[in-house]
A and B are shown apart, each in its own frame.
Chain A
């Protein structure tokens, strides 16, 4: 059965996504929902101190609970080969070597795991485990620590640092953003099953099955093909599934220890400390312009938090180097190690953070110069070439994004004067910002299986975390083959299928579209090989000349030199025709620069009495090359924009500096936008192909929908009430007291 097969009979498949039926009926199986024989349940116990050494762990009471099979700690865990000694632990580059040392790096770090017959037994037994520690000094206070982290140059300087500092208009300001947590709706979960001594099967929530496979091959020193990772339905990721996290290894260690399949599902509070977050940051931007509004130079400094047991670098200053022409530029960065778990990439990593500071500063500069913010940006964009690499852009339509979005929100209704539009206590403001992302592409493979009836199954290991990868594959296969959508099945999210990169960084569609196109070409050539026995025309053909239909193969135009599949299958006694092909970016990536971009415009109402903020409308115009599926792409952008509202107004993971504890680590305490917070969102696409990007002409859209949204909102708030709020999230208290 295929991954997205319907368990419910349908006379005709519904419009929309390939897996829609499974999702709307609740029949799609997510990682924690597989029934595996003799499955047992694991629950993690977290440390109660943020730094120190475990002196002893009392597991006696837990072991006596009925149904408990084992309790794993660093004292009794089966050795993970890659952690055999301290030197190897670093080499493994796994981050936290869970259960392998007595060291505590952050509060909530797993120190023990109860494995029991039922989740209830495991949960109860876990509550009985206590530990004694030799506590160390710890530091979780970014605000008090960041100044001590020495800034270092990040990237090559342009021009000089000081030549522009005295230009007529200079804005210099600091910006801070609190920790943000991905919080996909599905909690991370792993079912680990050692099916033989050195053979591992996992049902796991992640964004890249091959990545998980490679990591466990390295950790256990076994061949990758002995590890089978299944991630068919993934309930969101936003970056949290791009790493292999400690709970995932814990489940695998547990399964080894009890010689049974083990299921480990994180609780929502554990989602705040065990699967990454966007780290807290400080930035300073100094930007100058001459009287005409031409940017003269920029200094962008950034520091962000990281953990003490590994390093993570966001690349916050990257965006300063990308969007605009700055003759003089300097970017500096530093990381601040804290006793917290490891941060990771979260939707629009680095750029999302950096963009907020830069686009806020440009807005401030526009008021200083008395130049419309739209105009100021248009006259400074680097549209010809990537200012950093010097390579010509393959395509860069950020200017069109700005113009399209300005028209849609009716920018002419904006008043340059602060608070000029008001209705009682409510002031209306308009703001805008742009976002950009490097439109990457990686090597990827896809396979096709064809049956006699002309139906095909297109396969890849790539996951679909909700972005619509499967649907895009179906669209691309349909266009490339000519076979109707109803006859195209999709299989994905399984390491037994042709390998593919992780789904992240907006590279999924670019990478897989090349692979699907290559596989279709391989299918055509293979069919042509068989057809040549029936019709000489097919003896020396290229894929581009071959047209497929639901029933057979044709040459150049439909039904010309037609050979039915039935003939090919019968004469060659075929059951299934299988092809696999891979596709990689070529020289074009060496010669050209690639970017996706977006312009975000916001209309906001701010209540001067209560500090409440109500976003009325968001407009996002985006350049993602050719839009393969407009509805899916627009939905993707809408979701990212509303994610940007969360970033701007709500999302913050607070840490108690005295205790090192995450505060409000549940969905009651950590706020992202609910439906009532979501304004009118209008999405427009430039929709022009980037022919160098990949065969579909598309460029990734996953990130640009959020990069710039927060700055547009903050800029609109300034236009409404004249308060320049540089600390995210902008909660009512900051509006009232700022």
Chain B
């Protein structure tokens, strides 16, 4: 039996755990304020809040219910637009109404739920964060300007929050209804019970953001091994110079991880290019590896970092390098009963340089045409080790072993970079497709590699590498 709280109501259901939350909300519960725009997590019209107890605190994040299995909702508080309606309009809704930020209205509930998630986040509520909170919501009517104004006006209300708990403040200020005040208690009680139906299967599911897109028709009926909420797979920790990421850690976990923020100062820029807030809240790093896309952003980042994977089949564990994980297009060195338990890598030293670049047809919310990451260790003026990865240039996410080897022992000069580019061109095999022609992808990778050096070595006289 699956148990969770939907708005103010406790749901107990024997429906299949692979069923999508969106379908339960609209068809089973007839809550039609949650809209269907794409069923692939691209539009955000079906955004819901997901509240759960983390370290004794009730925390809310947003998710696209079209990609969320109800098995991943167990023991949580799921909130739809109906669940944040109060008597009259809530403060977000008032801001939208006032600015005319709803036109055809179909995307509107999703935007408003995303802003509700923002209002319940304990971070300082800034206008910029309010916009980030809606970055997974798309609108075809407004051009977003009226929505931005509404968010700005609403953020001013949140600015008065000071030290008050976000949920309490939001209730006091007519942002959410009062039943939210009892949710923590109710969830704690619920979590004391068995909320998950006993399911097991070799179809492992993390956040579902890729599996439910790729296997939309069959997933709901599968026997699923749910990984997302396993406590032992959570967390990002540092042990000396090694970072360990749990198999269920999400992209959002990386974004807020103090370890990552310390060792990757440009982290925010990288993460902004990876999907949207809602998807980052759901998508796991391990999932990005196992979906085996040749252009997975995180895969490319972790290839450059030479990450190691610990695979677990329930009885035995083994550790392999991410670089040897890919055997061919969508072919993995992974048995059906293995899942990624842990990802580990050596954190960059202070003198190391790391950079990630991505170009896609649309800058945001898009799959890369080509992406690339680099990690370079220096001893004086000489490269002591280099690791370059690239996506979109072959059937698997590529670690550019020849290029990486060439650079080792070299100084960073325009000549060496030109030579590196030649070597790299000989170890990639891009094809022409909807994301660009072969020639373009080859050119683009060269440009991105140049960009790596220009960003990583601002003091070196290599800036004029870039003509046109």
| Pair B363/A612 contact, Cβ less than 8 Å | yes
Q: How far is the CB of B219 from chain A (nearest CB, A)?
A: 12
Residues of B within 8 A of A663 (CB): 434
In Å, the complex CA distance between A236 and B38 comes to: 15
- Complexed CA–CA distance, A21 and B94 (Å): 9
In the bound assembly, the distance between CA atoms of A544 and B359 in angstroms comes to 62
Within 8 A of B (CB), among A698-738: 731-733, 736-737
Which of A238, A268, A641, A667 makes the CB contact (< 8 A) with B138? Answer: A667
User: Given A10-B89, A185-B35, A236-B106 in contact, is the A672-B96 Cβ separation under 8 Å?
Assistant: no
CB distance from A70 to the nearest CB of B (A): 21
A17 touches B85 (CB 8 A): no
- The listed residue (B32, B42, B98) touching A26 by CB distance below 8 A is B32
Chain A residues numbered 638-697 whose CB sits less than 8 Å from any CB in chain B:
638-643, 649-650, 654, 663-664, 666-669, 671-678, 681
Tell me if A467 is interfacial: C-beta within 8 Å of chain B: yes
Q: Decide if B40 is an interface residue (CB 8 Å cutoff).
A: yes
- Give how many B residues have a beta carbon under 8 Å from the other chain's beta carbons: 83
Does A124 sit within 8 A of B, measured CB to CB? yes
Cβ contact within 8 Å between A639 and B364: no
Beyond A675-B135, A736-B444, whether A668 also contacts B367 by CB under 8 A is yes
Given the interface pairs A608-B466, A609-B451, A733-B436, the reply to whether A17 lies near B100 with Cβ below 8 Å is: yes
Asked if A473 lies at the interface with its beta carbon under 8 angstroms from chain B, I say no
Alpha-carbon distance between A123 and B23 when the two chains are bound, in angstroms: 14
Contacts of B450 in A (CB 8 A): 609
- In angstroms, Cα B447 to Cα A29, docked, is 50
Collect the chain B residues with CB atoms within 8 Å of residue A610's CB.
357, 359, 444, 447-448, 451
Known contacts A20-B102, A33-B32, A635-B100; A609 and B107 CB within 8 A of each other:
no
> CB distance B141 to A268 under 8 Å?
no
A52 at interface (Cβ–Cβ under 8 A)? no
- Cβ–Cβ < 8 Å partners of B366 in chain A: 668, 671
- Is the CB–CB distance between B42 and A666 below 8 Å? yes
Residue of B nearest to A683 (CB): B145
Give which listed residue, A16, A127, A632, A650, contacts B361 with CB less than 8 A.
A650
Give the most central of B35, B144, B213, B443: most A CB within 10 Å.
Answer: B144
Contact present for A641 and B143 (CB under 8 Å): yes
Q: Which residues of B contact A11 (CB under 8 A)?
A: 88
Residue B131 interfacial (CB < 8 Å): yes
Q: Which of B68-82 contact A (CB under 8 A)?
A: 80-82
Cβ-defined contact, B140 with A185, below 8 A: yes
Are A8 and B85 in touch, CB under 8 angstroms? Answer: yes
B142 at the interface (CB under 8 A from A): yes
Bound-state Cα–Cα, A265 to B131, Å = 31
Q: Whole-angstrom distance between the alpha carbons of A669 and B367 in the complex?
A: 9
Q: Which A residue sits closest to B276, measured CB to CB? A: A674
Q: Does A383 contact B (CB under 8 A)?
A: no
A425 surroundings in chain B (CB, below 8 A): 466
**Docked-complex contact A674 and B434, CB < 8 angstroms:** no
Contacts of A640 on B, CB cut-off 8 Å?
A: 143
Which chain B positions have C-beta within 8 A of A666? 38, 40, 42
A24 contacts B by Cβ under 8 Å: yes
Contact present for B106 and A185 (CB under 8 Å) = yes
Main SS of chain A's interface residues?
A: loop
Q: How far is the CB of A339 from chain B (nearest CB, A)?
A: 20
Interface positions, chain A 188-243, Cβ under 8 Å from B, are 233-238
A26 to B447, CA, bound (A): 46
Determine how close the nearest CB of chain A comes to the CB of B154; give it in whole angstroms: 12
Instruction: Contact check, A632 vs B100: say whether CB atoms are below 8 A apart.
Output: yes
Q: How far is the CA of A580 from the CA of B93 in the complex (A)?
A: 35
A468 vs B45: C-alpha distance when bound (angstroms): 21
Let me know if B108 is at the binding interface, CB within 8 A. Answer: yes
B45 CB contact (under 8 Å) in A118, A127, A185, A649: A185
Q: Does A28 touch B at the CB level, under 8 Å?
A: yes
Report whether A9 and B87 are in contact in the complex, using a CB–CB cutoff of 8 Å: yes
> Is B362 on the interface with A (CB-CB < 8 A)?
yes
Chain A residues lying within 8 Å of B198, measured Cβ to Cβ, are none
How would you classify the secondary structure of chain B's contact residues: helix, strand, loop or mixed? loop
The closest CB in chain B to the CB of A236 belongs to B104
A635 to B34, CA, bound (A): 24
Given A24-B112, A642-B143, A737-B440, verify A676-B38 contact (CB < 8 Å). no
A526 CB within 8 Å of chain B: no
With A and B bound together, what is the CA distance between A19 and B104 in angstroms?
Answer: 10
Cβ-closest chain B residue relative to A17: B100
Q: Does B235 contact A (CB under 8 A)?
A: no
Check A732 against B359 for contact (C-beta < 8 Å): yes
Interface check B36, CB cutoff 8 A: yes
Closest to A184 in B: B140
Nearest CB in chain A: distance from B70 CB, A: 14
Knowing A24-B96, A185-B37, say if A614 contacts B363 (CB, 8 Å): yes
Q: Check if B89 sits within 8 Å of A14, measured CB to CB.
A: yes
- Chain B residues whose CB sits within 8 angstroms of the CB of A650 once the complex forms: 361-362
Q: Could you mark each residue 418-439 of chain B with 1 if its beta carbon is under 8 Å from any beta carbon of chain A, else 0?
A: 0000000000000000101101
B281 sits at the interface (CB 8 A): no
Contact residues of A between 15 and 50, Cβ < 8 Å to B: 15-17, 19-30, 33, 35
A669 to B365, CA, bound (A): 10
**B286 interface residue, CB < 8 Å from A?**
no
B139 interfacial contact with A, CB 8 Å: yes
- Report the minimal beta-carbon distance from A45 to chain B, rounded to whole angstroms: 14
A12: nearest chain-B partner, CB-CB: B88
Q: How far apart are the CA atoms of A235 and B43 in the complex, in Å?
A: 14
- B143 and A678 form a contact (CB under 8 A): yes
Contact: B98 with A15, CB < 8 Å? yes
**How far, in angstroms, from A261 to B229 measured CA to CA in the complex?**
42
Contact A466:B105 (CB < 8 A) given known A20-B96, A238-B140, A677-B362? yes
If A124-B217, A185-B139, A635-B142 touch, whether A674 touches B365 (CB-CB below 8 Å) is: yes
Q: Does A186 contact B (CB under 8 A)?
A: yes
B387 at the interface (CB under 8 A from A): no
In the complex, A285 has a CB within 8 A of chain B: no
Known: A236-B140, A640-B143, A672-B138. A17 touches B102 (CB 8 A): yes
Cα–Cα distance between A149 and B383 once the two chains are bound (Å): 60
Kindly list the 5 A-B residue pairs having the minimum CB-CB distance in the complex, ordered from nearest: A26-B33, A466-B104, A235-B106, A23-B105, A642-B143
9 residue pairs A–B, Cβ–Cβ below 8 Å? A8-B88, A21-B93, A25-B33, A26-B109, A238-B140, A465-B104, A642-B142, A672-B140, A678-B145
* Further pairs besides A465-B104, A611-B444, A638-B142: 4, Cβ < 8 Å: A8-B89, A16-B100, A25-B109, A236-B140
User: Could you list which residues of chain A lie within 8 angstroms of chain B, going by C-beta atoms?
Assistant: 8-11, 14-17, 19-30, 33, 35, 118-120, 123-124, 127, 183-187, 233-238, 265, 267-268, 425, 465-468, 608-612, 614, 631-632, 635-636, 638-643, 649-650, 654, 663-664, 666-669, 671-678, 681, 731-733, 736-737
